[in-house]
Amino acid sequence: ETKTVWEASFDAVEDPVAILDDHYTVLRGNRAYARFAKIPLERLQGRDPILVSMHALRELALDQGHEWGIEWEGRHYRAFFDTIHEPQGAGRFVLRFHDVTEERTLTEKILAKEQVAELGILVGSVAHEINNPIGGILAIGQILQKDLDPASPLGQDVENIVHSAERCRKIVQTMLSLVRKAEEEHRPLALGECLQSALDLLHGEITRY
């Protein structure tokens, strides 16, 4: 009765688990391990463990415990290999696999969001720092345009300065609009404005190419 209860509890474990003997072959695996290995439960005994070589297990057996990551059929697992201390039977080691695919995906999403947030802070800081001197350059350029004689040879140069400053300011405003948090709003979209913003950002690359 005790053996039946133990086996039922062992087979109810969701992680694939195998008990290995002193030759590192499977002595008993649970049902999850049989599905994982794609081997009928009654045929597991005496087989080599899956996904890890006997030689590797011998080296790992020298440690108190060991874990590592593996990929199997498109999913990610943590493998655990532990020694049974003071064994009461033939079992000497426990090999377990834990599916961490969802955890890993969630972690990657969180890290990606953190990176985007940090990038937004950096872009916002740089944009504000650039915005101040650009405003000064634009103001002085516009004053020069008013004070210069229309026939002055410097007119074209000042016009270029003003045009470039206005373009820089527009780019900075676009950068700030990308990082500012705004409440979601549903409204008709002017596609031309979106395209113009993209062209303002890409103007330098377009000219270069």
- Report residue 62 as tokens: 């020298």
**Non-local CB neighbours of 138 within 8 Å, separated by 6+ positions:** 162, 165, 166, 169
Q: What is the pLDDT of residue 147?
A: 86
Task: Give the E-state strand segments of the chain in sequence order.
Answer: 17-20, 26-29, 65-72, 75-83, 93-99
Q: Which residue in 168, 172, 177 sits closest to 204, CA to CA?
A: 168
Confidence of residue 60 (pLDDT cuts 50, 70, 90): confident
pTM score, whole prediction? 0.54
Q: What is the pLDDT of residue 94?
A: 92
Q: What is the pLDDT of residues 12-53, one digit of tens each?
A: 999 999 999 988 899 999 999 999 989 999 899 999 888 888
Q: What is the pLDDT of residues 109-140, one digit of tens each?
A: 888 888 877 877 777 777 778 888 888 888 89
The proportion of the chain whose per-residue pLDDT surpasses 70, expressed as a percent, equals 94
What's the DSSP call for residue 84?
A: P
| Bridge partners (DSSP) listed for residue 69 | 78
Count the Cβ atoms, other than its own, within 10 Å of residue 95. 23
